[in-house]
Amino acid sequence: MIVRDIKQFRRNAGHVDLESLPPLEEVEPHLPSPDMPPVDLPPIHDVPLKFPTSEIPSSPCITHQQATVSSIGIKRGEPVTCTRFAQSSRSSSLLPPSDGSSSSKDEDNILMEDYDDHRSVNKRIAEICNEKEYRRWLTHEYNASLILPLWNPCPIDLGAVGYLSEPEGRFITLFNAFSPQNSDHGMVRNLPSINRYGQVKHGSQKLDKRSRLQKLDAITGPFAGLSRGVSQKVSRRYTYPLKAGHGIAIMCAETTEYRYLEPLDVPKKWFQSNVNSVMNAYGTQRHIQKEDLFLVVGTLCAPKYALFVSHSHPDGHAQFTVYSSPKTGQKWGVFTTDPEVTQEGSGPRQPASKVSDQQKGPWNSVLLARLRFKPDYLKPTSK
């Protein structure tokens, strides 16, 4: 009976010639690469600094508690009080709590757990988790080709050849494919430029989120949060919902420039023709594989950025508050959350943020579009 069933199965299936099967690249469903030309951002509707109460009482001011999010220079979330004065619905401030017993109780509920004896170990674990999950969870409204978020943004040129350094989340540039002759490596200086393979257009699109805020009036008020007794004016706030059981990553950048190369056929030809030479030069030295190597064909640059990641939190909100006139070398804003959000996160699983300083200089790349090689593939892809 079994032998008869096997023979019947063979007759129905027929003979399969393994050599006649198409290669893996042809079997995989063909998904088009994202287009490089820029797209318009969807409209947004920013709102003034909001408070839990919709009506303004007769008392001089109304307040509610928030907590700052851990960042560079902030070892743990600090409690702040958000205040709106009744005589001006458009003025607001973020203030540290007073020394009263009620505020002390609030502060005890808001302060996050110390790292104690495992502080340095937890810091390393936290940075690994933050970078990995920021890159995994971030979604954005910019061009779909920008699929590589950077937890540590830095200036990156189009045509840069390099790799992502983990867990720092920083892109390491080895050389530029448009000018390999400027490389410090002798083997790379002999490589041809991308321009030898055809004409490539450099495109750009500047975007300003503030121009889409329907020209709302600035919201001003003193700020004295992280530095006791130091006041700063506050202009606007961006609010992001947090959902229990769902991790979230946020990138806030008001002024940006999308830079891109097109068509991609030329960079792809260069990359395919020269990847082996690049790996011979840097593979062993940098401990990277062919699949780790990237050719940058698009960047989203920003003079200022604010990044946020939260792994575990209750339902609530995260807010990024923008300072009106930050001085050079100061942060241009601060992330805060509802007290319950900071209270739930502890150790390496607490919310974290990276906020750039107010400064002049080259813009940092926060998102990248790149060519790469998938395992066992001969041709590069932008997906």
59 pLDDT exceeds 80? no
Q: Which residue, 113, 234, 171, is CA-closest to 368?
A: 171
Q: How many CA atoms lie within 13 A of 75 on its CB side?
A: 6
pLDDT for res 148: 97
Q: Of the spans 38-42, 57-61, 275-279, which averages the highest pLDDT?
A: 275-279
Residues 317, 240: contact at Cβ < 8 Å?
Answer: yes
Question: In this model, does residue 321 exceed pLDDT 50?
Answer: yes
Q: How confident is the model at residue 271 (pLDDT cuts 50, 70, 90)?
A: very high
Q: What average pLDDT does the structure give for the chain?
A: 76
Q: Residue 263's closest CA among 31, 32, 35, 30?
A: 35
Q: Where are the alpha helices (DSSP H) in 96-192?
A: 101-110, 119-137, 186-189
Phi-psi region of 128 (alpha: psi -120 to 50; beta: other; left: phi over 0): alpha
101 CB-side CA count, 13 A: 0
Q: Indicate the pTM of the whole model.
A: 0.73
Tens of pLDDT, residues 194-245: 999 999 999 999 999 876 554 443 444 444 443 434 556 888 899 999 999 8
Q: How confident is the model at residue 32 (pLDDT cuts 50, 70, 90)?
A: low
In the predicted structure, residue 58 carries a pLDDT above the cut 70: no
> Burial, 368: exposed, middle or buried (Cβ in 10 Å; 0-12, 13-18, 19+)?
buried
- Using DSSP's 3-state secondary structure scheme, residue 241 falls into strand
* Residue 215 to residue 149: CA distance in whole angstroms: 30
Choice between 225 and 163, residue whose per-residue pLDDT is larger: 163
Residue 65, judged by CB atoms within 10 A of its CB (0-12, 13-18, 19+), counts as: middle
What would the mean pLDDT of 175-190 be, rounded to a whole number? 95
Per residue in 351-383, pLDDT tens?
899 999 998 899 999 999 999 999 999 999 999
What would the pLDDT profile of 329-349 be if each residue is shown by its tens digit? Answer: 999 999 998 876 655 555 556
Query: Are 220 and 235 a contacting pair, CB within 8 Å?
Result: yes
Compute the distance between CA of residue 333 and CA of residue 362 in angstroms, rounded to an integer. Answer: 20
Asked if the model's pLDDT at residue 289 lies above 80, the reply is yes
> What are the tens digits of pLDDT across the range 63-91?
445 556 666 544 555 655 554 444 433 33
**pLDDT computed for residue 312 by the predictor:** 86
Query: Could you tell me the two tokens for 57?
Result: 């009482």
Interval 107-130 mean pLDDT: 62
Higher-pLDDT residue of 349 and 60 is 349
